[in-house]
Chain A
Amino acid sequence: MTYIKKPIFRHPSLPTNEIGLTYRDYEGVVSTLCAGCGHDSITASIIDACYELSLPAHKIAKLSGIGCSSKTPNYFLNNAHGFNSVHGRMPSVATGANLANRDLVYIGVSGDGDTASIGLGQYCHAIRRQLNLTYICENNGTYGLTKGQFSATNDKESKNKKGLDNPFGAIDLAIMAIELGAGFVARSFSGDKEQLVPLLKSALQYNGFSFIDVISPCVTFNNHGYSTKSYDYIREHRSLFGELDFIPEEETINTSYAEGETVTIKLHNGNDISFKKLGADHDPTDPHKVLNTLRNNRSDGKVTTGLLYVDPDKSDLHDTLNTSSKPLNSLSMNDLCPGGEELEEINNQFR
């Protein structure tokens, strides 16, 4: 890790966003992860996405479980709310927080161990319930903190650093998310901010459960010649599933899209996603086709990245449960204790 604090000096010409902040106002402390860790690039992308969306940090909650990935919320958004929870239990804590305060933007950061092993049940149920959360899985296929054992997302074709075979097949978290009914599913690569940042922006603006599986090479244990999650391997085997552009609401009116090749997807809050198809089978709104493509690419040894699936009309957990439209902490005494007449009326309904 780096001993010194990142100098406070910034480039005098650094641009500011709509709320007058530079991206550096969205930083956290200096990372303690290994130098060159893919997770740090994801951190930088989250910083960029929040900066570009001009989100105020105090309206964001960042939550995580345990693992290298789950340490990263300390490295971004110093002024956001944060909860570093128990291993694999980030979705439970996020559910509680979200039900109590629906007005915050929720960023859940997890890893392949935290999600695909100990937290798999939590992961499935958060999707099933359509929790309004951006769930980022920083996926490096290895248990870095415990010195590089295979994780549940590590491909069968891959070997460990010492050349030993992986006896088990991989869990594909993106396919799982689509099958479980997630409304927004994407896969990306930590080494490609041009793709990752628009995906993060779209996911953060999506109302409902959004999942991004980010392949993030572990430089220490899983960036070798037999790895299928190394920088070189991903760069060589990546198959792009469309190109995504996030268009903020104020620009949506003036943006014209090329016919045929581009699909425009309107999000609940007025922003658009423009999706440029790169192949005939690229239709992110048809889950069957998407699953087919993913499986075919997989058997061809390709890693499909991009926005894989989106359903802009899904209802989220609050809609389903018909919860309070306001955060609980903003309910007044009168809201909570509406008085005798109100009680009488409610009781009358049951008579």
Chain B
Amino acid sequence: MMKPTDTKNPNYYHKVVDCQWACPAHTPVPEYIRLIAQRKYTEAYMINWESNVFPGVLGRTCDRPCEPACRRVRVEEEPVAICRLKRAAADNKSDVSSLLPEIPSKKNGKKIALIGGGPASLTVARDLMPLGYDCTVYEKDPKAGGLMRTNIPSFRLPVGVIDEEVDRILDFGVVKKFNEEVKSLKSIIQQDYDAIFIGTGAPKGKDLDIPGREEASSNIHVGIDWLTSVAFKHVDKIGKKVVVIGGGNTAMDCCRTSLRLGGKDVKVTVRSPKADMKASDWEIEEAELEGIPIFDNHSPKEFVHENGKLKGVLFEKMEAKYKDGKRKLIPTGETIFFECDDVLLAIGQENAFPWIERDIGIEFNQWNQPEVNKVTFQSTLPRVFFGGDAAWGPENIIWAVAHGHQAAISIDHFCNNKDLEDRPSPLTNLVSQKMGIHEWSYPNDISNSDRFAVPHAEKELSLTDLNMEVELGYDEKLAFEEAQRCLNCDIQTVFSESLCIECDACVDICPIDCINFTQNDTEENLRKKLTVPALNLSQDILVSDNLKTGRVMVKDEDMCLHCGLCAERCPTGAWDMQKFTYIEAHADKSSIFEYVE
């Protein structure tokens, strides 16, 4: 027998909001999408800013774990364009300066060193500056931003967008130590910092040690280093024929940048089958739209050169064999030669800590990675914290931000002698959306439209200008239309068994057949005997207490459209549509929600 679902547990309703649940920073997605539809772009932007600090950057570059999670994928096919709506909020917002947290002029006397000026460190600064901390950022490059600035080409992310969102935090009064590469952690520890946060990312591109690598090295470049050089304008051209080796997002950025720096014949080669490529589908799609061919199952064997002058790359064709769900790449013996002037290596990157002395109390594991607490982000030296790619290897910007928020909480606790394991609870709220008998304060008449494509700049123009943004973003009308596709999963179907008269009205009206009245049973049996069996085990079922007839109400959350028809057809108000607000706890407790609500 199943017990009534404990909806008081904040995780129950949070999990129903698939996008927010999937977002590492738990951004309240449906809330800001509704604000976009109301043309309240500034508020929508600030809700984002509070959760993920870089809405303009992320609205263009996020890995968007929210989108594959979007309920719309299960209900039809294409998710709501959450990421690009975020950009629409950033593009259309007005001045936000009055909405930013106040920075106390009287400091609290605690000094924090942030090593590496990327999204993780900047998030820590964003959370600690309003509390009166004195934060110092050490950055080896002349400007802060980390990989957002160095590794993402400007045709995907204009420099102005990075400057705006990075400077906003630096302008809180962060002490800037730029062009200053930290060569020794000991030297930092010896200074009077109360805590040190290491957010140095994963700056080391992997090399490919095959014959010819050394001899032809002047035309073989490590992708992320090359992109950095392009970003800081140290490199402005490349050979006509370019081979990019690798199948991740860096490879896609390398090949598209090559096209804009004079490459005419640019190829991407991947060792694995195309379906297994690491790059996001949309990045692959953009590269292919620009006419770049992708050769999969190509394993590089040799850099062919004549007296040190690169001639091309020799590949061996591979074949993928699958056994027990595991993939094996088998060489076929067939070789292929691609002529080229330059090679870009984009076969992965890793974090590296040659600058951390091994005798200062920071333990490293067998893979030469620091031991970092998964919850507190604290290293074995209590004063030192890690976050972003530096903590556990390459992830992405949104994870770096999530780490930064958590690390800031830990640093704040650490500096105030509070228990680091004692994490603050999220702020949650549940409020009825009923406005009249059949009126709700959210748009429940959902759009049947397919996902709207983001308009692109003319290819002829954008391919000749490294700084011309390829995606133009949604205009206001498209943003509105796309926003209407959101199913408002944060508007929860809340059931009160004491009011139910078991008239079946909700069962009859539900367009997706997720409501059932049946005899209680084990979860396994209940799932099977619903009108449409609840076979997606990753989604919960909502089970009520016993009703008058001895049955229980069972609702499968999987496909629910949150259209509110159950509540509209309920004669007694046993069903109600209530907005579930979930705000992740941060070190800085000021909240834009007070302003929006």
Q: Do the two shown chains form a genuine complex with each other?
A: yes
Among residues of B, the one whose C-beta sits closest to the C-beta of A38 is: B503
Q: Are B568 and A11 in contact, with the CB atoms below 8 A? A: no
Q: Are A35 and B571 in contact, with the CB atoms below 8 A? A: yes
The CA-CA distance from A40 to B559 in the complex, in Å, is 23
The CA-CA distance from A12 to B75 in the complex, in Å, is 7
Q: Are A34 and B571 in contact, with the CB atoms below 8 A? A: yes
Mask, A250-273, CB within 8 Å of B = 1, is: 000000000000000000000000
> Which residues of chain A come closer than 8 Å to B505, judged between CB atoms?
35-37, 40-41
Q: 17 A-B Cβ contacts within 8 A? A: A2-B438, A3-B445, A4-B444, A4-B445, A9-B76, A10-B511, A15-B532, A24-B511, A31-B509, A35-B568, A35-B570, A40-B569, A41-B508, A44-B508, A219-B501, A232-B548, A235-B548
Q: Are B438 and A1 in contact, with the CB atoms below 8 A? A: yes
Q: Are A36 and B511 in contact, with the CB atoms below 8 A? A: no
Number of B residues contacting the other chain (C-beta, 8 Å)? Answer: 35
Q: Are B509 and A13 in contact, with the CB atoms below 8 A? A: no
Q: Which of B399-455 contact A (CB under 8 A)?
A: 438-439, 444-446, 448
Q: Are B501 and A36 in contact, with the CB atoms below 8 A? A: yes
> Which residues of chain A come closer than 8 Å to B75, judged between CB atoms?
9, 12
> Which residues of chain A come closer than 8 Å to B508, judged between CB atoms?
40-41, 43-44
The CA-CA distance from A15 to B530 in the complex, in Å, is 13
Q: Which of A221-273 contact B (CB under 8 A)?
A: 223, 231-232, 235
Interchain nearest-CB distance for A11 vs B (Å): 5
**Given A3-B438, A36-B572, A231-B503, is A9 in contact with B512 using a C-beta cutoff of 8 Å?**
yes
The CA-CA distance from A10 to B548 in the complex, in Å, is 30
Interchain nearest-CB distance for A112 vs B (Å): 19
A96 interface residue (CB < 8 Å to B): no
Q: Are A2 and B568 in contact, with the CB atoms below 8 A? A: yes
Q: Are A11 and B512 in contact, with the CB atoms below 8 A? A: yes
B502 interface residue (CB < 8 Å to A): yes
Binding site for A on B (CB under 8 A): 74-76, 438-439, 444-446, 448, 501-505, 507-509, 511-514, 532-533, 535, 548-549, 559, 561, 563, 565, 568-572
Number of A residues contacting the other chain (C-beta, 8 Å)? Answer: 36
The CA-CA distance from A75 to B261 in the complex, in Å, is 64
> Which residues of chain B come closer than 8 Å to A44, judged between CB atoms?
504, 507-508
> Which residues of chain B come closer than 8 Å to A3, judged between CB atoms?
438-439, 445
Interchain nearest-CB distance for B80 vs A (Å): 14
> Which residues of chain A come closer than 8 Å to B559, judged between CB atoms?
11-12
The CA-CA distance from A2 to B448 in the complex, in Å, is 18
**Given A8-B448, A9-B75, A231-B503, is A36 in contact with B571 using a C-beta cutoff of 8 Å?**
yes
> Which residues of chain A come closer than 8 Å to B512, judged between CB atoms?
7, 9-11
Q: Are A14 and B513 in contact, with the CB atoms below 8 A? A: yes
Please tell me which one of the listed residues A9, A38, A193, A217 contacts residue B511 in the complex, with CB atoms under 8 A apart: A9
> Which residues of chain A come closer than 8 Å to B76, judged between CB atoms?
9
The CA-CA distance from A294 to B76 in the complex, in Å, is 51
The CA-CA distance from A229 to B504 in the complex, in Å, is 16
Q: Give chain A's interface secondary structure class.
A: loop
A191 interface residue (CB < 8 Å to B): yes
> Which residues of chain A come closer than 8 Å to B568, judged between CB atoms?
2, 35
Q: Are A11 and B513 in contact, with the CB atoms below 8 A? A: yes
A6 interface residue (CB < 8 Å to B): yes
A30 interface residue (CB < 8 Å to B): yes
Among residues of B, the one whose C-beta sits closest to the C-beta of A15 is: B532
The CA-CA distance from A12 to B511 in the complex, in Å, is 11
Q: Are A6 and B509 in contact, with the CB atoms below 8 A? A: yes
Among residues of A, the one whose C-beta sits closest to the C-beta of B533 is: A13
Interchain nearest-CB distance for A32 vs B (Å): 11
The CA-CA distance from A11 to B71 in the complex, in Å, is 12
Please tell me which one of the listed residues B74, B445, B561, B569 contacts residue A5 in the complex, with CB atoms under 8 A apart: B445
The CA-CA distance from A44 to B532 in the complex, in Å, is 16
The CA-CA distance from A9 to B76 in the complex, in Å, is 8
Q: Are B514 and A4 in contact, with the CB atoms below 8 A? A: no
> Which residues of chain B come closer than 8 Å to A12, judged between CB atoms?
74-75, 559
> Which residues of chain B come closer than 8 Å to A9, judged between CB atoms?
75-76, 446, 448, 511-512, 561
The CA-CA distance from A43 to B504 in the complex, in Å, is 12
Between B439, B568, B572, the greatest number of chain A beta carbons within 10 A of the residue's beta carbon is seen for B568
The CA-CA distance from A13 to B448 in the complex, in Å, is 19
The CA-CA distance from A339 to B502 in the complex, in Å, is 64
Among residues of B, the one whose C-beta sits closest to the C-beta of A24 is: B511
The CA-CA distance from A15 to B531 in the complex, in Å, is 10
> Which residues of chain B come closer than 8 Å to A36, judged between CB atoms?
501, 503, 505, 569-572
Please tell me which one of the listed residues A4, A13, A14, A34 contacts residue B563 in the complex, with CB atoms under 8 A apart: A4
Among residues of B, the one whose C-beta sits closest to the C-beta of A3 is: B438
Interchain nearest-CB distance for B554 vs A (Å): 15
Among residues of A, the one whose C-beta sits closest to the C-beta of B556 is: A11
The CA-CA distance from A302 to B75 in the complex, in Å, is 46
Q: Are A191 and B504 in contact, with the CB atoms below 8 A? A: yes
Among residues of B, the one whose C-beta sits closest to the C-beta of A43 is: B508
**Given A2-B438, A6-B509, A219-B503, is A11 in contact with B561 using a C-beta cutoff of 8 Å?**
no
Among residues of A, the one whose C-beta sits closest to the C-beta of B507 is: A44
> Which residues of chain A come closer than 8 Å to B509, judged between CB atoms?
2, 6, 30-31, 40
> Which residues of chain B come closer than 8 Å to A37, judged between CB atoms?
503, 505, 571
Q: Are B504 and A7 in contact, with the CB atoms below 8 A? A: no
Q: 9 extra interchain contacts, Cβ-Cβ under 8 A, other than A9-B76, A11-B512, A12-B75?
A: A2-B565, A3-B439, A7-B446, A7-B448, A13-B532, A34-B571, A35-B571, A36-B572, A40-B569
The CA-CA distance from A219 to B504 in the complex, in Å, is 12
Between B76, B508, B535, the greatest number of chain A beta carbons within 10 A of the residue's beta carbon is seen for B508
Interchain nearest-CB distance for A221 vs B (Å): 12
